[in-house]
Amino acid sequence: MANQFQLRCYSYIDRMQPQFASFCGTITQGDLPTEGMAALYIEVATGNEVYRLVVIAVKATEARPGAQIVEREFGMFEVHSRSQAEVLEAGQVVLERLNLKVEDRIKPQVASVQVITNVDPYQAQLLNRFRRGSILVRGETLLVLECAPAAYINFALNEAEKGATIKLIHCSSLGRFGRMWLSGSESEIASAQAAALGALESVTGKAGK
């Protein structure tokens, strides 16, 4: 088990931004987060380890679980609270039980960045069929950013919203890659891209496999 286990993502969000928190509310099956809450995303392999880790986090603190997901390769869970201290304590308890440190997580890597200016109305309609956030309209600039491990995309998205006036179109944080779609003016998308990339670069950790 020790050789198989991998702490893929350990990502703390100090204050959930309005659009990010609202988007999470559309996909969360557990306790609903709201704007201003602190949150922690942990992704692991093997995926089934998530069940044990969620129990550890919620029994030891007042942090509430919003997600507990196991897919083919990995597992991911999220806890949140209005108290940053409770969320940090939940993470610390999990790390102690695993006999790991934050630095044992995998450092995120950017897999792809695309900026599409002056979005065509037909492409906007295609993307809108799959989104869970705001509606993409013609003429906007679209940012598509992918990273691995997937759960780090939540941190990148929240920091992008802090750093720019954008619309959150969609976000996916499961599987091999995390992906976000943001839209806005060309200048605001440039600011969002810089904020997201800077956030991912700031995360310490080990090289991924």
Reported residue count of the chain is 209
Domains and CATH numbers, the chain: 6-104 (3.30.70.1710), 109-202 (3.30.70.1710)
- The pLDDT value recorded for residue 23 is 97
In eight-state DSSP terms, residue 82 is S
H helices within the chain, ranges in order? 18-27, 49-60, 84-98, 121-128, 153-163, 186-202
Main-chain phi, psi angles of 66, to 5 degrees: -100, -30
Residues 24 and 97: their CA atoms lie apart, in Å, by 28
**Order of all β-strands in the sheet with 6-13:** 6-13, 38-45, 75-81, 64-70
- The pLDDT value recorded for residue 1 is 40
Question: How many other CB atoms are there within 10 angstroms of residue 82's CB atom?
Answer: 13
Residues 56 and 115: their CA atoms lie apart, in Å, by 41
Among 59, 53, 158, 42, CA closest to 102:
42
Average pLDDT per block of 10 residues along the chain, 209 residues long: 79 98 94 97 95 95 96 94 98 96 97 98 96 97 98 98 98 95 98 98 92
